[in-house]
Structure 1
Amino acid sequence: MANPKTAPQRSDWQRNHERLLAAAAALVARDGAQVSLEEIARDAGVGSATLHRHFPSRQALLEEVFRDTVERLRRRARELAAGDPRTGLVSWLEELTIAAADTRGLPASLSAGAKAPADDTCHAVVREATVMLVDRASEAAAIRPEVSPDDLLTLVEAVTQATEGDPPTALRLLSLALDGIRP
């Protein structure tokens, strides 16, 4: 039987968590990954200690803010893996670039996640999908043999950090770079 004293704490915890995520999503969309954590706590109506109990670091907060976007990208990579290897890889890189350029804060979060040891970061999810598609394209000799998943992710991260908020320019720059990976 549930302890009546823990049930309200759990719903209060969940409510605070949801309020923090909603405030963070809105403020990151406005200000980017370096948004003030104090402002997030204030907008959520909680103290900064509550924010830090829920999210021990800025990166942990960003990981959760971007989780749905990254999961959608993971599903899309699986769909693309069923088709032509070159087309699948190029489409993946284009869709990843659009999502990152169009989602304020995501490029910085992906870059920071590359330094994290955890296997469940947004960067790890994106990298896993990229590895799968690069491996398929390599096996089909659809890309140059020296092209690595990490090279392509570094390229996408650099392009999207430079063009955050401007997906058409990001795609144009990606297209120029992708000409260099053809065998």
Structure 2
Amino acid sequence: MLKVKALLLIVFLMLGNFYSHASTFTDEDNKTEQWQLGTTKRFDTFQSFFLKYGSNAYFRTAYLYDLKKQQWLSYEEAKSLKPALQPILNVQHMEVTLTLAEVVSFTNIDIRDAKRYALFFFDTPIDTDNNNEYLFAGNDVFAKQLKKSIDMRKLAAKLVKQQHDVTGYLIQIPLIGYKPQTF
């Protein structure tokens, strides 16, 4: 009986460690993943940006931008240029015409050391009033979705590191301006 209690305690502590670790993106995570960080500063800014271009706002997904041509690439263009990035690219069609200055203003990134292409991975929204915890962190109902989100972020980091001419930007989306749907 004592062994069972000890084993249950170990499992509980391991799961507790996963959930506390997985509830935020940490400096320790970034030592491995090596993202350049950006932010939309507000959730409604993130949402409005995509609505402006006739699309829905999705997170846990990536978009590719050609810094030299100042062109937001469609899924098809990005896939043909960088087929290895296909698993993380957003597939919805968007007609986006943005200057580099507009991209920098929207994502709040530093492009001084950027390579030819910028990959923007829009992370799960964070609660800036709660230690930058991910949306739904600590909610058992959404634990699997949060784990999928973190796994997708890690996959994106891994794939970007394999591209010699792509700089990876993790775009954090604060919940400021977030209005939950009501039914």
Q: Normalising to structure 2: TM-score of the pair?
A: 0.25
Q: Which has the higher helix share?
A: 1
Q: Which has the higher strand share?
A: 2
Q: Normalising to structure 1: TM-score of the pair?
A: 0.25
